[in-house]
Chains A and B, each alone.
Chain A
Amino acid sequence: MQIRKILLAVFVICSAALSAADFETATLGNELAARTEKFLSGSTAEARSGIAGFSDAELQKVTNEFKKSHTTAEQRIFWLSEELYRRNAERAAAERIRYLYYAVLAALLILAGFSFMTWRQAGRISRAAAPVTPIAKIPDVPPPALGRKNSKPQKGRSRK
């Protein structure tokens, strides 16, 4: 009885291991299965460049089928792998947003600084050229001629 139980356990483990080793792409559908086969059998460079060819839905489908062919323990290893990628992707995205923010801020600061400097210098020149508030100026008017009190000609001068 004990031996039978052991044999049964060995059979279950071996069959699970065999099913895990074989990922049946046939369940994915003709077109996707063909592409997945090509992805699996191609060179590393081809496989890497082929990743972008899968849509989000296709990736989900392939991943689900692949997970089904593995044991619970192995699936948990996938969780860890997925978590690692998620954290890395999040970190990379946050870093990219941060650098985009820095770049926008730097560009704004430099150009705003230069614009302000130009505006200030140009403004100073125009203020110097034309005062903002006009100042009233009394024109130089010659004093009115006074009536002569003494018509006697001055000495040393002669009328011509």
Chain B
Amino acid sequence: MMYYLLLLATLAVGAWSAHVALLQAPADAMQGNVQRVFYFHVPLVWVSFIAFIGGAIMSVRYLMSRRLGHDAWARAFIKTGWAFTTTVLVTGPLWAKPVWGVFWNWGDERLVSFFVMWMMYNAYLLLRATITDFEKAARIGAILALLALLNAALVVAAIYIWKTASHPGPVFVKKAGSGIMDPVMRQAFWSSFSAFTLLFLSLLVARFKYEKAVSGAMENAN
């Protein structure tokens, strides 16, 4: 029952945020309508990081307790986070092309570190799919999830360390003249932020249900 309420809330907030972000919010003075990509690109990044932090916490708990339930949570977090990260990597270049003139800039440290992070989670999924010894895969996967989280921290810090031209600073800043200022734009951003967080939670719960059953089957097999 709670899960269906969560799904209902996701749909309602999602529809509202799509309306505000795509129809109500004004077009950006410099970037035009393509700036609306920002309303889902940034929340997707946020959700990806939440997923990977969750995955790393559950991996640590697995390494400490060796309980497959924790590993199931870690897999659920990371697989869901992977889907959101992939969406970030697709929507980002589609925004960049009309604004920067290129799909990708290999000179931008934030982009490259984000790409490396995505590759590390690909490696995680590949490892989990190929190692037949389930407990060994869980152990190595947990270590890899922790390493990938270190890279995720580098992605966040990249704009402060390298001060990249493409990502000059955080979106919400107190400094005048930067970040989003228009109240409808802010509303669009926060509604989208809530919608993607709810969507993430819905997918995470469903995915955990599946991963838990897989872990249960593996435990019974041993």
Contacts and interface: CB of A to CB of B under 8 A. Distances in A.
A125 B91 contact: no
Interface residues of B, number: 29
A15 interface: no
Given A93-B33, A107-B40, 7 more contacts: A96-B34, A97-B34, A100-B37, A110-B83, A111-B199, A114-B83, A126-B209
Contact of B203 (A52, A115, A125): A115
Contact of A92 (B32, B37, B41, B209): B32
Nearest to A89: B32
A78 interface: no
18 contacts: A92-B98, A96-B31, A96-B34, A97-B33, A97-B34, A99-B37, A99-B95, A103-B91, A104-B37, A106-B90, A106-B91, A111-B84, A115-B203, A118-B207, A121-B210, A122-B206, A122-B209, A122-B210
Given A104-B22, A106-B90, A114 B203 contact: yes
A95 interface: yes
B32 A96 contact: yes
A129 interface: yes
A14 to B, nearest CB: 43
Contact of B44 (A92, A96, A107): A107
A111 B83 contact: yes
Given A99-B97, A100-B37, A125 B209 contact: yes
B91 A95 contact: no
Given A106-B94, A107-B40, A111-B87, A118 B33 contact: no
A83 B41 CA distance: 35
B18 to A, nearest CB: 9
A85 interface: no
A99 B90 CA distance: 11
